[in-house]
Amino acid sequence: MRARGMLAGLGAAAIWGGMYVVSKVVLDVLPPFTLLSLRLVLGAMALGALVALSRSRLGVARREVPVLLGIGALGFGVSVGLQFVGTALSSAANAALLTSASPVFLLLFGALILREAVTPKRLGALVLASLGVLAVLDPTAVDLSQATARGNLALVGASITWGLYSVLVRLASRNAPTIAVSLLGFVGGLLISLPMATTEGWVAPPLGLPIVLGILYLGLVSTALAMYLWNRSLALLEAGLVSLLFFAQPVVGVSLGALLLGERLGPGFWLGSALIAAGLLLAAAPADSSAPPGPRPTPEGGRP
């Protein structure tokens, strides 16, 4: 179960790392909340089709539905929305560095809300991985001037709310299967992203095949598949451990930037990748025997 959870979390982080290369192309044509809404619609359709084909029910009590919608609104509407706003008002370098703080808040909320133990080993892994991210992303490129202050504040807000969203997903997974948490989360996100998209005043130009394929990839792979994997990881593992898997994202993103966009990989990338790998290996070591056991998920991530 532990290995499956870590593979799911790493898979999600790897997909998101590659997402930025595709997003960079698609966002030249589509405004952000329009693209986010398309991603969520495609994600909801994909997971809804899986539920229909399996001829199974979502397995969610009615009282849980508004809770899951609210969690989705927080994660996709508020957190991703703040990331879009922050990136627009700040810079891509600032966004990459400041949103990489999400694992810190995930670990913090896991301790405060879920009462997860923050062990010295886990703190050490967090420090190693954080230093690795700083080396990979080059903090000297970050602009902390007054001109980017509002954007930077929004990006910090995105990190905080993503950490909170992830912990709430862990909590919700005690009472609902992963596919229901993901599907209703997408619908909850649409409650915010669709109204925001209507304010963008976008007129659709003719979309070429590369843009259409990019939208499909972002909706089906980066949203439906990656969010299912992330939520599944949160159902199987402690939130504090899942937080560290997020650090694989910048390594994959920078690697694909070099492979597809011709960006140069400097010594900082290799040093940072080694530090992140060391942090993940430390986190993956057997848990301390003194740490309290977390909730035991069912095979489907739902009720025991």
293 domain residue, yes or no: no
pLDDT at 187: 96
Distance of alpha carbon 202 from alpha carbon 167, whole angstroms? 35
Report residue 141's pLDDT band, with 50, 70 and 90 as the boundaries: low
Report residue 216's pLDDT band, with 50, 70 and 90 as the boundaries: very high
* pTM for this predicted structure: 0.81
pLDDT-wise least confident of 18-32, 88-102, 117-131? 88-102
Tokens matching residue 32:
């952000």
Tokens 């089906």, residue?
Answer: 220
Distance of alpha carbon 160 from alpha carbon 45, whole angstroms? 28
Q: Please give the average per-residue pLDDT across 186-199, as a whole number.
A: 94
pLDDT-wise least confident of 121-130, 145-154, 193-202, 295-304? 295-304
Is residue 303 predicted with pLDDT exceeding 70? no
* Best CA proximity match to 116, nearest among 253, 269, 240, 7: 240
298 domain residue, yes or no: no
Each residue's pLDDT tens digit, 240-257: 888 888 888 777 777 776
Distance of alpha carbon 243 from alpha carbon 118, whole angstroms? 12
Each residue's pLDDT tens digit, 46-63: 999 998 888 777 778 889
303 domain residue, yes or no: no
pLDDT at 233: 93
Tokens 């490129």, residue?
Answer: 141
Q: What percent of the chain has pLDDT over 90?
A: 30
296 domain residue, yes or no: no
pLDDT at 289: 45
Q: Please give the average per-residue pLDDT across 108-131, as a whole number.
A: 86
Classify residue 54 as exposed, middle or buried by CB count within 10 Å of its CB (0-12, 13-18, 19+): exposed
* Best CA proximity match to 263, nearest among 54, 123, 96: 96
* Best CA proximity match to 48, nearest among 228, 218, 297, 230: 228
Q: How far is CA 75 from CA 108, 136, 187, 267, in A?
A: 17, 26, 11, 34
Distance of alpha carbon 126 from alpha carbon 236, whole angstroms? 20
Q: Please give the average per-residue pLDDT across 79-93, as a whole number.
A: 80
Phi, psi of 90 (to 5 degrees): -120, -120
Distance of alpha carbon 246 from alpha carbon 257, whole angstroms? 18
pLDDT at 83: 84
* Best CA proximity match to 178, nearest among 70, 59, 78, 280: 59
Distance of alpha carbon 105 from alpha carbon 122, whole angstroms? 14
pLDDT at 287: 57
pLDDT at 118: 80
The number of distinct structural domains making up the chain is 1
Each residue's pLDDT tens digit, 158-183: 999 999 999 999 999 988 899 999 99
Each residue's pLDDT tens digit, 257-291: 677 666 677 787 788 888 888 887 887 776 544 44
* Domain residue limits at 104: 2-201+208-284
Distance of alpha carbon 192 from alpha carbon 32, whole angstroms? 13
297 domain residue, yes or no: no
Q: Please give the average per-residue pLDDT across 26-30, as a whole number.
A: 83
Is residue 185 predicted with pLDDT exceeding 70? yes
Report residue 191's pLDDT band, with 50, 70 and 90 as the boundaries: very high
Phi, psi of 286 (to 5 degrees): -50, 140
pLDDT at 293: 46
Report residue 81's pLDDT band, with 50, 70 and 90 as the boundaries: confident
301 domain residue, yes or no: no
pLDDT at 286: 66
Is residue 298 predicted with pLDDT exceeding 60? no
pLDDT at 6: 87
244 domain residue, yes or no: yes
Classify residue 27 as exposed, middle or buried by CB count within 10 Å of its CB (0-12, 13-18, 19+): middle
Q: Give the chain's length.
A: 304
